[in-house]
Amino acid sequence: MSFAGKVWRLLVGIKDALALLFLLLFFAGVFAILNSRPSPGVVREGALLLDLDGAVVEEVSPVDPLTWLLSSAVPTQEFAARDVVRAIDEAAKDKRIKAIALDLSTFLGGGHVHMQEIGEALDRFRTTKKPVLAYAVAYSDDSMMLAAHASEVWVDPMGGAAITGPGGERLYYAGLLERLKVNAHVFRVGTYKSAVEPYLLGGMSPEARENYEQLYGSLWQEWQANVRQARPQANISMATTDIPAWLTASKGDLAAAAVAAGLVDRTGTRTEWGERVAQIVGEDDWDDTPGAFANTDFEAWHASIDRETPGAKIGVITIAGEISDGMAGPGEAGAQRIVELLDEALDDDLKALVVRVDSPGGTVTGSEAIRRAILRHKARNIPVVVSMGNVAASGGYWVSTPADRIFAEPETITGSIGIFGVLPTFEDALAQFGVTTDGVKTTPLSGQPDLFAGLTPEAEAVLQATVESGYERFISLVAESRGITRERADELGQGRVWDGGSARQLGLVDQFGDLDAAIEWAAKQAQLKKGNWHADYLGRDVDPFASVLERILQVEGREAQSNDMFAFFARNDRQLGARIISDLQGLLEVRGAQARCLECPAPAAPLRRVTLDAGTQSAYNWLARHLLD
C-alpha cells in the first residue's frame, strides 16, 4: 500500500506540473499576442489606419468564446458604424493624425446608409486638408462607395472593380415542395407581401416585380448619385453597361479598366500604397516591414477617444437585426432584452428617448412588446424620436409608430406593412410511405394544428383570422401615428416596401437625417441647452475583456483568404447555402405570425454557423435524402 501511495502521489504531481506548465504557456501566449503591437491606449503620430477587416453593422454582436471554441467557424469582425464615424471625426480634430489609410482589402460591406454616413465623415475629414488614401484588391459596391470619398484610390494590379448594383435572383421552392409532397399553408394580408411567394410560386409575381423594380431602381439611383458627387470623374455607365467592351479596351486588365473608368486613381501593391502613405505621415520606427508607415489602428484610436458625458441624458435604444421574443442580442433584436433595457431606464431621468431602428422586423408579439415599452417612456411626457437606419420595415415600422417624429435617409428601406404566417404539413409526404393518422376529436380544433394529418378548415380559418386581425392592428397603429385614415394606411400598406425618399413623400417618415440629427431634434424638443446633454446608449456596457478576446481570435483563428476578383464573387456564392438553410428553416419552424420584410435586400452580414435543433436537423436530413432520390 505504501508503494501504491507513492506511485499515486507521483502521478498526481506529474499531472499538477503539466497543468501548471499548460497555464504558463497559455498566459505566455496571451502576453505575446497582446504585446505584438502597441497597447490599445497608445496613440502615435502618423496615419489613422482603418483596416476594415469585416462588416460594418448597426450594433456589434458579442463574441461568445464557448461557441467559438466548440465551432470551427471564426467569428467575422464587426464594426459599429457610429464608432467608425466618431473615430474619423475625432481624428479630423487631432494634430497627431495626419491622414487616414483606408484598407478595404478584406472589407465585407455594410448597409447603404452606413456607407453614406462613413463617406460623409471622410468628406469632413478631408475639409481639414488631411488626405484619405484607400487601397483594395477587389472593389465591390460598398467598398467603392467608401473609396469614392478618398483623396487617392489605389487598386492592386491583380485586382479590379466590379459594380453589381442592387438586385439579383431569389430562390423559389414551390417545385421542390410539390416533389416532396409538402403542403405549405400560407396565411397573409397584403397584395405586395411577397415574403411567402418562394413557397407558393416558381417565380416572381407581377406585383412583387413591380415593387422590386421601384425599390431597387431608387436604391441604384441613390448609389450612383452618391458616388458621382464624391468622385465626379467616375464613369459608372462605362463599368456597368457594356462590360465586355470596357474590359477589351484595357486588354482584359481589370485594374487598368478601373483606372480608365475613373473608379480608381492608380494601381499599386499593398507595399507601394504603404510607401505612399509613409511619404505623407512618416515611416514606422517600430516596423521595418516593406510598406510600413507610422500609424494608430482603429482599436487603439477608438479606445483613446474621450468619453466625457456631461449634462442631461437622452436615451438611445438600438433595435438592430431580426425581432424575436427572447433575450437575443446585441446584434439581434430580442424583445425581452430590449424591453428590460427600456424598463430599467425608466428610473434614469431621461429627458428624451431616441429609438434607432435597423431591422426588417420579425415576430408580431416581439414587435408589440417593444412598442409598449416605448410607450411607457412616452407616458412620462418626454419626446420620443425614431431614427431609421438601413432597414426599418414590417416589425421595424411597427416599433416606430409611437414616435413623435421619424427620421430616415433616402436609402432607408421601410414600409412592408403587412402580416404573414407559414405552416407546413406533411400528410401527403407520409402517405407515400404508408403512414396515416387517425384519432378521436371533440371539436374541429382538437389536435390542431396537426403537421402530420393536415389542417382542418376550422384551423385554417383561425390562423387566417389571426393574420388578418394582426394586419388590422398594424394599419390602425400606422393611421393613428401618422394622422391619416385607416383606408389611407391600408393603401400605403399591403406589404409594399418603400425607399426612404418615397416614404417621406407618402408621409411614412417625417424628414431626412441621420442618428445625430434625430438626437439633436430630441434635445431641442426637450428644451436642453447645447453642450448640456449627452446621448446615453442603453445596454452598451462594453466588456473590458472583449477586445482582448477578439484580438486573440483574430490572430489565432482567422485564416488567410484570397482577395482577388474570383474571391469577391465566391463570397457571394458562399451565401447561397446559408440562404437555402435560412429559407427552409423559416418554413419548418413555427414562429407565429410574422411582421417581417423578407423582400428587403439585406446588407452584407457576417457568415455565421447555423445551429439546428434535433427536430429541425431530422427534417433537413429527410429533405436531403429525398432530393437525391
Q: Which DSSP helix (H) or strand (E) runs through 501?
A: helix 500-506
Which H/E stretch holds residue 421?
A: strand 419-425
Nearest to 312 by CA among 355, 350, 343, 354: 350
DSSP string covering 179-236:
HTT-EEEEEEE-TT-GGGGGGT-SS--HHHHHHHHHHHHHHHHHHHHHHHHH-TT--H
How many other CB atoms sit within 10 Å of the CB of residue 408? 30
Q: How far apart are CA 140 and CA 547, in angstroms?
A: 28
Q: Which of 375, 565, 576, 561 is nearest to 481 (CA)?
A: 375
Residue carrying C-alpha cell 504585446 = 35
* Residue 193 annotated as catalytic: yes
SS (H, E, C) 244-290: HHHHHHCCCCHHHHHHHCCCCCEECCHHHHHHHHHHHHCCCCCCCCC
Yes or no: say if 54 and 606 are a contact pair by the CB < 8 Å rule: yes
Query: Residue 103 and residue 150: Cα distance in Å, rounded?
Result: 11
Q: What is the dihedral of CA 306, 309, 310, 315, to 10 degrees?
A: 150
Rounded Cα distance, 338 and 340, in Å: 5
Which residues, other chains included, contact 183 with Cβ-Cβ below 8 Å and sequence gap of 6+?
Answer: 177, 424, 425, 426, 427, 428, 454
CB atoms within 10 A of CB 102: 28
User: What are the backbone dihedrals phi and psi of residue 176, each rounded to the nearest 5 degrees, phi first?
Assistant: -65, -45
User: Considering 143, 394, 400, 481, which one is annotated as catalytic?
Assistant: 394
Q: Which helix (H) or strand (E) holds 414?
A: strand 413-415
Cβ-in-10-Å burial (0-12, 13-18, 19+) of 470 comes to buried
The CA R_g of the chain, rounded to the nearest whole Å, is: 27
**Cα dihedral 132, 138, 143, 144 sign:** positive
CA geometry: angle 413, 419, 425, nearest 5 deg: 125
> Cell numbers at residue 358, please?
435597423
Selecting among 130, 193, 313, 351, the annotated active-site residue is 193
Element (H, E) at 358: strand 352-359
H or E element: which one contains 586? helix 565-588
| Integer Cα distance of 326 and 120 in angstroms | 36
Enter the C-alpha cell of residue 475.
Answer: 394599419
Helices 546-557/2-34 angle, 10° precision: 90
Q: Is 205 a catalytic residue?
A: no
The three-state secondary structure class of 445 is coil
Q: Known catalytic residues?
A: 193, 394
